[in-house]
Amino acid sequence: NAGVTQTPKFRILKIGQSMTLQCTQDMNHNYMYWYRQDPGMGLKLIYYSVGAGITDKGEVPNGYNVSRSTTEDFPLRLELAAPSQTSVYFCASSYMVGRNQPQHFGDGTRLSIL
Amino acid sequence: TQLLEQSPQFLSIQEGENLTVYCNSSSVFSSLQWYRQEPGEGPVLLVTVVTGGEVKKLKRLTFQFGDARKDSSLHITAAQPGDTGLYLCAGERGSTLGRLYFGRGTQLTVWP
């Protein structure tokens, strides 16, 4: 059972570089999410998607972009990386039938911007 | 501003002790979820509470949703080292279905 798969697991970037964090899920979930987790700050929603072709901003979208061309994939793009984007990034998915659906998380991408 | 306030932020106890973690808000939620996260992994759902006043038990863990659906608590009886981890509460609001608002988490360490 793969669930939600994130790649890479670790990455170091220089200031100003760009990269794409990959996320794929094999559960046929229609909702997908990107969060960042900073020490002592819980999880902050960056972007989310309710289905292929539909994305929306969360609490902290600045400096990031997303796309959702398929149900399975939801990549997160960092343009012009900044030290403030050093964080652990989690992708999650849920099956939106009714309320109270659990979110299933990947194991995260640990990103350092130097 | 944090929609859900969790306390305490850190908890360090001996094996066998009891503990309670609180999750409070001034907003009403349609449901509250509790997750547990271990180092190097993503959060994993423990329980969802949806009805005001609801109490759910998961072995030694007891979860309660406040009558007004603004707060929740997690009580662990006779804590064990295996309970060590980051506990996160997350609320879903009726106006934004599918979106969860997370608390900052409680880092629990249980010493043998």
Name the pLDDT band for A97 (thresholds 50, 70, 90): low
Residue B62 has pLDDT above 70, yes or no: yes
Nearest by CB to B100, from A41, A103, A106: name it.
Answer: A103
CB contact (8 A) between residue B50 and residue A100: yes
Better-scored residue on pLDDT, A6 or B99: A6
- Calculate how close chain B gets to A41, using CA atoms only, in Å: 5
Name the pLDDT band for A1 (thresholds 50, 70, 90): low
Better-scored residue on pLDDT, B9 or A40: B9
Nearest by CB to B92, from A41, A100, A105: name it.
Answer: A100
Both tokens assigned to B2: 């944090």
Calculate mean pLDDT across residues B41-59: 94
- Calculate how close chain B gets to A108, using CA atoms only, in Å: 6
Both tokens assigned to B34: 């509790």
Nearest by CB to A50, from B30, B88, B98: name it.
Answer: B98
Distance CA B76, CA B36 (A): 13
CB contact A44 to B (< 8 Å) = yes
CB contact (8 A) between residue B40 and residue A41: no
Find all residues with CB under 8 Å of B59, minimum gap 6, and list them.
none
Nearest by CB to B30, from A99, A103, A107: name it.
Answer: A99
Name the pLDDT band for B96 (thresholds 50, 70, 90): confident
- Calculate how close chain A gets to B105, using CA atoms only, in Å: 6
Residue linked to tokens 């509460």: B89
Find all residues with CB under 8 Å of A95, minimum gap 6, and list them.
A27, A28, A29, A30, A31, A101
Contacts of B31 in chain A (CB under 8 A): 99-100
Calculate mean pLDDT across residues A79-95: 95
CB contact (8 A) between residue B100 and residue A105: no
